[in-house]
Amino acid sequence: MFFRTMGHRHRSKHKHHRVKHEHKSRSSSSKRKKSRKYTDSSESDSDTSDEMRLREEERQKIAEQKKLRKALMKAHETPQQKRARRIAKKMAKEAKQRNALGWTGAFSDYSNGDNPFGDPQLMKPFMWQKKYEKEGRLNVTTSELIEENRIRLLENQTELEKIREKRLQREAMKNELEVLRRERENKEFVNWIKQETTFHLEQARTRSRIRMREGRAKPIDYLATYVSDGEDQDCEHFEFLEPTKYAENLTVRDYEDLLVDIKVYQEYHGEALNQFWNDMATVVQHRLNQQQATSAPTSAHRQEIHASVFADIEEMLNNKDVEHLLILEQQIQNKLNTDQSELDVGYWEMVLSLLRLRVARLRLNEDYKRRLKKYKQRREIETSNLTEMTENAQRTWKYVFFPSYEIYLLEGNYSPVCLNPKSVPQNVVPLGPDHKKYDINTLRCSLNKNNWLDDFIAEAKKGMTSDEATFAVEENIQKERAYLWSDRFRPRKPRYFNRVHTGFEWNKYNQTHYDLENPPPKIVQGYRFNIFYPDLIEPKPPRFKVSPCENDSDFCILKIEAGPPYEDIAFKIVNKEWELSCKRGFRCQFYNGIFQLWFHFKKYRYRR
């Protein structure tokens, strides 16, 4: 037990001694490391200081060299170079100041000596003493002023740039709107042109219908109906023939008029029927040339030349369709355009004209066959529909003419049978409830047609003396505007009975040169206008207006306006001053549909 205890103590001492020895060795190694570290840091600091010293010496050396070069340059430079150097230095300094102030763009060229404001201290920052005193900033420095001015200038430039962009956007939008407006106007203009063309074409067709209805149709009327495939219902007696048949056996004047009408229709139809009208114009022009050649003095010689070559030309053109003829036309045209020295130009021009005539006739014939087929098909459909309607009408109206119709009524079936309007025959005219009243009014108007006019004239002629005469000198009025009521009512001129009052003026000159046996010439002393307006729609009285005559200052135009359905009427009267007193015979009234305007001219007396 003792030995074990002693051994334990001996081991513990030995262990403690070993730990202590290790701690000493560790501390000594750490000290060695620290000393080595301090040695390394001191060495690096010394290296850095040496490097900085070398750099500083090198920098000073470069600066001294630069200063030396500058001194040498100043010593050897001329006065002009010295002046240019100073100016460049000054400009660089001013540019640096402008950059510090924030002057860019338009202000980059401003300086104290060159600015539009004439300010020699422009680049010196301005200090508003009262403002900074009020704000309590009297101790503000120059650099702060420069910075504030630079920031304010940048803000202003930014705002100006935004305003400029907005202005550009407005201008771009305005330009876009202008482009859209022009496009819209162009479209409207195109529509107006189309409407005008359609209107003129419809007017030409209407004239053709009227002439055909009245039995005085022209060849162009038949051609216009032919182009519409005979769809016009007013042309009942139209016979669908080949178009060249409508232009046969005409005079020279008729052929010339037909050519003019063809050009008119060609302009109205446009590209749709351009080929048809060109072919028709070719045929008509050929026949016009033949007619003129027949009536010319040298027609026999021309016919002889034509007969000698006509057989050869016909043999050349026979048995050829339109495509081959067009190819031949192009070949002849090329031959005439290239070399004419060894060609018989007259012969080939005649061949070319006959070839074009043949092409026009072939195309017209093909067009006629196509239109004739379409025309027959439509007629067959109309005939079948008419036959069906006639049969239905006969079945419906059979009992009307049947003898047992009275028995049918006696049995109690007194109410009329409701019929379909399509089943009524064409020769039966249905009568409305107002038809009888209309007939009575028509008869009354026919009986009283001339009574009101006779009464009106008789009333206007009352009191007419030998010094008065009827007056009916109307003046044409240029239609400055279209009446809005012209579509509903037929415009017409009113009836009138006017009188002009004439007489003598026994002034000093007439008393000296004339007497009662040899009276002086009569002069106009006044007018009486009686104009009848029985059918005025609006109850407003008529109005009159006097305007000077453009061609003659001794006369003027009296224009009277009433309203629908009457047109304005004007008279040319003597240009003198009127007596507007009722005692002098002036009257202007509208009563019982009669407008009366009576007046006399003033008489001027010479007084000393």
**Which has more confidence, 414 or 489?**
489
Q: What is the mean pLDDT of residues 444-473?
A: 60
Dihedral sign (CA 97, 101, 102, 105): negative
DSSP conformational letter for 550: S
pTM (2 d.p.): 0.38
Is the pLDDT at 264 greater than 90? The verdict is no
Predicted pLDDT at 551: 83
Mutual orientation of helices 345-396 and 299-317 as an angle, nearest 10°? 80
Write the pLDDT tens digit of every residue in 545-584.
999 988 888 899 999 999 888 889 999 999 999 999 888 8
Residue 578 φ/ψ, nearest 5 degrees: -90, 155
Is the pLDDT at 454 greater than 70? The verdict is no
Q: How many C-beta atoms lie closer than 10 Å to residue 566's C-beta?
A: 23
Is the pLDDT at 88 greater than 50? The verdict is yes
Predicted pLDDT at 407: 55
Residue positions counted in the chain: 608
Which residue from 543, 590, 593 is spatially nearest to 568, judged by alpha carbons? 543
Give yes or no for a contact between 162 and 155, defined as CB atoms under 8 angstroms apart: no
End-to-end CA gap in the chain: 188
DSSP conformational letter for 424: S
User: 238: burial class by Cβ within 10 Å (0-12, 13-18, 19+)?
Assistant: middle
Predicted pLDDT at 16: 47
Strands 543-548 and 495-496 come out as unpaired
Highest mean pLDDT range out of 351-360, 440-449, 531-540, 593-602? 593-602
Is the pLDDT at 70 greater than 90? The verdict is no
Give yes or no for a contact between 423 and 391, defined as CB atoms under 8 angstroms apart: no
Predicted pLDDT at 6: 41
Predicted pLDDT at 318: 76
Location of structure tokens 């016979």: 239
Percent of all residues in the chain with a pLDDT value above 70, rounded to a whole number? 67
Token code pair at residue 172: 């771009």
Residue 604 φ/ψ, nearest 5 degrees: -100, 130
In angstroms, rounded to a whole number, what is the distance separating the alpha carbons of residues 256 and 593?
A: 52
Is the pLDDT at 12 greater than 50? The verdict is no
Q: How many C-beta atoms lie closer than 10 Å to residue 7's C-beta?
A: 10
Q: Which of 117-126, 490-499, 505-514, 595-604 has the lowest mean pLDDT?
A: 117-126
DSSP conformational letter for 421: G
Q: What is the mean pLDDT of residues 484-493?
A: 62
Identify the band that residue 7 occupies on the pLDDT scale cut at 50, 70 and 90: very low
For 455-468, give the secondary structure using H, E and C.
HHHHHHCCCCCCCE
Write the pLDDT tens digit of every residue in 91-144.
888 777 777 776 766 666 677 777 777 777 777 777 788 888 888 887 888 788
DSSP conformational letter for 256: H
In angstroms, rounded to a whole number, what is the distance separating the alpha carbons of residues 524 and 501?
A: 6
Highest mean pLDDT range out of 135-149, 404-418, 442-456? 135-149
Residue 542 φ/ψ, nearest 5 degrees: -65, 160
Residue 20 φ/ψ, nearest 5 degrees: -65, -40
